[in-house]
Amino acid sequence: MNFELQEKRILVTGATSGIGLDIAWSLTELGAELVLFGRNRDKLVELEQELGARTLALDITDEAAVSEAFAEMPALDGLVNCAGISRLESALRVRAEDLDALMTTNVRAAAIVAREAAANMLAHGRHGSIVNVSSQAAMVALEGHLGYCASKAAMDAMTRVLCLELGPKGIRVNSVNPTVTLTPMAERAWSDPAKRDPMLAAIPLGRFATPREVALPVAFLLSRSASMISGTCLPIDGGYTAH
């Protein structure tokens, strides 16, 4: 088994906080050279110093800016599409602007970054790997998550199409689908027992995921140990979607 990523250059979007930040640290520990996209300029400067990463403050919903960033991108071996947003709304209160924002960031921007990353890999003759950070919300209905569920289901559909089209060119594409993951923001959001306890009761393992428990499967899918895995949507949910 080889989970190491030495001499692999990997782009991570949404790298300045949450799951993306833990993915960046885990990939560095496994030897990867990183390119990091994010919006928090101060955090990017910090990560550039701490991880030796190449960083770029970028709004990935700006297609022209993304294309410009890739014009000077070194050869990539992998992409982690982790940038994303969430909006919570009931079906009877859903707003068009929330749906547009979710689809713009979670689907359209991810597709554009994947397009550019795949073109980069092909131009440099690399057989690479793309991992989309999706959600258990793509697989089951979650109350109050109409737009978010739809956007993550679209991301999983995108994963399968990318797998079909890029596989013959030597590029693997997979998704990971985490349950509630205890980033600092999620810890605050799920601190109320009335909200937390019913969700925990629905998870057979009886707990939420840690960011590290998401980052390591991402690293596996990027590695040579996953060389025959493509087109999968991997639940990291403690059994939640087994119901």
Place of tokens 């990318």: 162
In sequence order, which residues have a C-beta less than 8 Å from that of residue 90 and are 6 or more positions away?
143, 144, 146
CA 239, chain centre distance (Å): 20
Catalytic residue, candidates 43, 148, 195, 240: 148
Measured CA distances, 29 to 5, 6, 24, 216, 225 (Å) = 9, 10, 9, 11, 17
Counting every residue, how long is the chain? 243
How far is Cα 199 from Cα 205, in angstroms, rounded to an integer? 11
Q: How many Å separate Cα 27 from the centre of its chain?
A: 13
Contact 35, 14 (CB under 8 A): no
Residue 152 bears catalytic tag: yes
240 is catalytic: no
Q: How far apart are CA 50 and CA 54, in angstroms?
A: 11
DSSP codes of every residue in 146-203:
HHHHHHHHHHHHHHHHHHHHHGGGT-EEEEEEE-SB--HHHHHHT-SHHHHHHHHHTS
Catalytic residue among 8, 152, 195, 240: 152
Coil, strand or helix at 115: helix
- Residues with catalytic annotation? 148, 152
